[in-house]
Amino acid sequence: MDRVKKMRVAAIVTVLLFALVAAAGFASRSPVVMSFHQERRVAVIRVTGPIVGGNSDPVSLGGSSGTTSGELMRQFRKARKDDSVKAVLLRIDSPGGSAAATQEAAQELQRLKDAGKPVIVSMGDTAASGAYWLAAYGDKVFANPSTITGSIGVYISYYDLQGLSQKLGVSEEKIKSGAHKDIFSPFRPMTPEERQITQTMVNDMYNQFVAVVAKERHMEEPAVRALADGRVFTGEQAQKAGLVDAMGNYYDALAYAGKLIDADPDKVPTVAYTEPVSWQQLLKGDLSVFRFIQSAYGAENNIPLPLLLMKRGWQH
């Protein structure tokens, strides 16, 4: 067999293998197959990177490396409606992000808790600011001794480009409907009145943050305010301050969640909700072949392709 024929055969085999793997993966995630998985499980939901608003596609190439409020709300709702899920493990490795995005995700997290499903939090490297806002909802919060957490507070930033624009000979002209319509313009100084308006907004959001921490952590507001000056804590410091419950890594938190559902702490059944993908995304170039196969099998991590191809069926 000459070289050209060998290449053709190899290409055909690759395509067939890919089709079989994808078909098997999607079949294993179909409602018919999933209906047999009625054992008590823990839903694992991850908050990774900055928390932002919107509902970006997490599997598209060039997408956001953070977590969107849309993704979190969707996963919280699925966990709430999934009868096999009896507890949720919220794994957080995030510096925080948008207050509004965090808040709307937190509303769905509260509804999940109201449905009687306990939330266990596992902090990774960082769980600060808005990420701690979410962590505060945990019924049991685990952190590593060196986790960076806390940073309870709010800020609004803007740029002052007046010096640069003057050097470049650039000026801004505008016609506005009200005195404060361009309150954050980088080409003019903020007036004392506008500074007070902005400070009032920040104070309002800050008070909301403090109220959440006080309520969910069962602390008095004055005690929370004493900690809520924007400072960060290590995991050990946060535990002493009452912001964290226990020291432990991801598997310690998973084992604790497993005990809540009467599962073997070393073999806790879990489920993760990945975004569905389609052949259209693959054909349009919005999705890599590897990510398509990953989604077909529900693989949450970057499993090497050879191992992924050897993976037998859907595992929880």
Q: How many helices (H) and strands (E) in the chain?
A: 13, 10
Model confidence at 34: pLDDT above 50: no
**pLDDT for the residue numbered 13:** 59
Across 243-253, average pLDDT: 97
Q: Do 296 and 175 lie in a common domain?
A: no
Same-domain check for residues 106 and 133? yes
| Structural domain contains residue 286 | yes
203 and 181 housed in the same domain: yes
> What pLDDT is recorded for position 58?
44
- Give me the pLDDT at residue 309, please: 42
Percent pLDDT > 90 in the chain is 58
pLDDT at position 281 is 52
CATH number of 85's domain: 3.90.226.10
Among this protein's residues, is 278 annotated catalytic?
no
Q: What is the pLDDT of residues 123-178, one digit of tens each?
A: 999 999 999 999 999 999 999 999 999 999 998 888 888 888 888 888 888 898 99
pLDDT for position 130:
95
Q: What angle do CA 251, 245, 202 make, to 5 degrees?
A: 110
Give 20's pLDDT tier (boundaries 50, 70, 90): low
Residue 146 in any domain: the answer is yes
Evaluate if residue 51 carries a pLDDT over 70.
yes
Q: What mean pLDDT do residues 71-97 have? A: 95
**Phi–psi pair at 215, nearest 5 degrees:** -70, -50
Domain annotation covers residue 101: yes
**190-193: long-range pairs with CB below 8 Å, 24+:** 190/158
User: For residue 116, what is the DSSP state?
Assistant: T
Q: 139 is in which domain, residue-wise?
A: 39-151+231-275
pLDDT value, residue 109: 97
Considering 6, 81, 181, 215, which one is annotated as catalytic? 181
Q: Are residues 286 and 185 in the same domain?
A: no
Q: Are 140 and 264 within one domain?
A: yes
Same-domain pairing of 52 and 118: yes
Same domain, 162 and 178: yes
Top pLDDT among 189 and 311 is at 189
Total domains in the chain come to 3
User: pLDDT-based confidence at 312, cuts 50/70/90?
Assistant: very low
Identify whether residues 260 and 147 lie together within a single domain: yes
- If asked whether residues 140 and 244 sit together in one domain, one would say yes
Are the CB atoms for 268 and 42 separated by under 8 Å?
yes
For the cut 60, the answer to whether the pLDDT of residue 225 exceeds it is: yes
The catalytic position among 129, 151, 185, 295 is 129
**225 found inside a domain:** no
**What tens digit of pLDDT does each residue of 299-310 get?**
444 444 444 444
Tell me the Cα Rg of the chain.
Answer: 24
Sequence-ordered strand ranges (E) for 221-260: 232-234, 246-247
Q: How many CA atoms lie within 13 A of 263 on its CB side?
A: 22
Are residue 107 and residue 235 in the same domain, yes or no? Answer: yes
- Is the predicted pLDDT of residue 105 greater than 70, yes or no? yes
The overall pTM is greater than 0.85: no
- Asked whether residue 217 is domain-assigned, the answer is no
Catalytic residue check, 157:
no
- 38 pLDDT band (50/70/90 cuts)? low
Q: Is residue 59 part of a domain?
A: yes
Average pLDDT, the chain: 81
Residue 221 is assigned to a structural domain of this protein: no
The residue among 19 and 227 whose pLDDT is bigger is 227
Within a domain: 219: no
- Any bridge partners for residue 90, and if so which? 45, 121
Query: Are 21 and 70 in a shared domain?
Result: no
Task: Indicate whether 171 and 242 sit together in one domain.
Answer: no
